[in-house]
A and B are shown apart, each in its own frame.
Chain A
Amino acid sequence: MRFVLDTSAVIHLVERKPDALTAELRKATEAPSINVVTLAELAVGWASLPRDSPRRRTYHSARRMRVIDIAANHLDSEPTALVVAFGECRAAGIKGNDAWIAATAHFSGGVLLTYDETLATRFATIGDSTLLSP
């Protein structure tokens, strides 16, 4: 099973290590992915928080994950599967950065892991998602 973590899932995993999430990830058959947008969101937190903030470590942990780089891999030719997936995510009502994150899961055929109920509900109309409870 292939998983893509949204930003909320990364934060919970690194900072709280919830059993429900780690149990899901033990089902994975390959290293879970994050979209580079998630890394960017965490980088903003890293840059804006005090040095002793635990959240700053979350960014460093996320850097160890498998990051799907949109620009390097998927936007160099005709509209690609990822871009098509992005459009489908937008059509499903997923907005802003979440649309890129969801597109990564949709494009790769992976399960989107998130703590965001709205995102999970909307993504479920086009792909597989697992809504986690805090």
Chain B
Amino acid sequence: MRELRNHTREVIERAQSDAVTITDGGVPIAVLTALATTEGRWNAEAWLVQITGQDWAPYDSGLAAELAERGTSDDESDAVERLGLV
């Protein structure tokens, strides 16, 4: 899935450079959610990353650290929801 990971990185970088309005300081899942759902646009790459999940995690050490700090479980989805990111 190297291709998908490359797309993931590109989507995140593009979203951040486009200053997509988010409230989580650049957390990829929020960027991707915004990309996938705002203004009637739908972005296949963003959606794929959002759904397949794991690929965005390595690119955001801040999120990983925040999850660890809050003592969340190993269940990423639960943790992300508790943080109000989706």
Contact = CB atoms under 8 A, between A and B. Distances in A.
Interface in A1-52: 13-14, 17, 19, 22, 25-32, 52
A56 interface: yes
A30 to B, nearest CB: 5
Contacts of B42: 28-31
B1 A57 contact: no
Interface residues of A, number: 21
A67 to B, nearest CB: 13
Contact of A57 (B4, B50, B53): B53
Interface residues of B, number: 20
Interface of B: 1, 3-4, 36-37, 42, 44-45, 47-48, 50-53, 74-78, 86
- Dominant secondary structure at the B interface: helix
Interface of A: 13-14, 17, 19, 22, 25-32, 52, 56-57, 60-61, 63-65
A25 B76 contact: no
Nearest to B50: A64
The 10 closest A-B pairs by CB, nearest first: A60-B77, A26-B44, A17-B1, A30-B42, A61-B51, A17-B52, A31-B42, A61-B53, A22-B48, A28-B44
